[in-house]
Homo-oligomer: A and B are copies of this chain.
Amino acid sequence: MSTNPQSDQAGRVVWHQGSWQLEAESVTLPDGTVVERAYVNHPGAVVLVPLLGNTVLMLAQYRLPFKRTMLELPAGTRLSDESWLACAQRELREETGYRAARFTPLGEILPILSYSNEVLAIYLAEELTPDPLPMDADEQIEIRPMSLMKLIDMAHNGDLQDAKSIVAILRAARHLNAF
């Protein structure tokens, strides 16, 4: 492999939105060309598989980039100084109205390598009891309980399209020996 591109300076923020920024850097390529490259600088997020019996609490959530409602697992961005587990508990309560007595980590995934440094930590959430927190004002969310077996099929056959949800469902299924 040739020499990696060298980053010449700290990123300059070209857009700031909530917890993330788009940051641009000047990069010198191996042939000497200098180009500017930007990526989303992100604090990381959690994705949750909340399990009630054989049912997973999925969400129907409006997503502006697609101008439509998408089927996905509960997920949310980490606050500054918030631990991953505290983030998991808070987002679960905000988005589903339940707290979990048991969280099992199922690894971390990187949703986009080319223009974001976001890391997503996956947790299986079990032993759920009602304990809601208020939802974010700008979120449009409806809970859709679905069977784990049906979701495994949808993850494989393409009916489930959200990448984080596909990976989290298949990791949870494997952990639970559901296939």
Interface residue tally on A, bucketed by range: 35 or more
Cα A111 to Cα B65 with chains together (Å): 12
The listed residue (B14, B29, B106, B138) touching A14 by CB distance below 8 A is B14
Of residues A158, A161, A163, which shows the largest number of chain B Cβ atoms within 10 Å of its Cβ? A163
Instruction: Indicate whether A25 reaches chain B with its CB closer than 8 angstroms.
Output: yes
Q: Can you tell how many copies of this chain the complex includes?
A: 2
Instruction: Indicate whether A93 reaches chain B with its CB closer than 8 angstroms.
Output: no
Q: Interface readout for A140-179 with B: 1 if CB under 8 Å, 0 if not?
A: 1110000000000000111001111011001100100000
The listed residue (B14, B17, B112) touching A15 by CB distance below 8 A is B14
Cα A141 to Cα B30 with chains together (Å): 13
Instruction: Indicate whether A101 reaches chain B with its CB closer than 8 angstroms.
Output: no
Cα A38 to Cα B64 with chains together (Å): 9
A25, B162: Cβ atoms closer than 8 Å:
no
The listed residue (B14, B22, B64) touching A37 by CB distance below 8 A is B64
A22, B25: Cβ atoms closer than 8 Å:
no
A166 and B109 in contact, given A29-B137, A37-B17 (Cβ under 8 angstroms): yes
Q: Which of A106-134 contact B (CB under 8 A)?
A: 106-118, 120
Q: Interface readout for A56-92 with B: 1 if CB under 8 Å, 0 if not?
A: 0000111111110110100000000000000000000
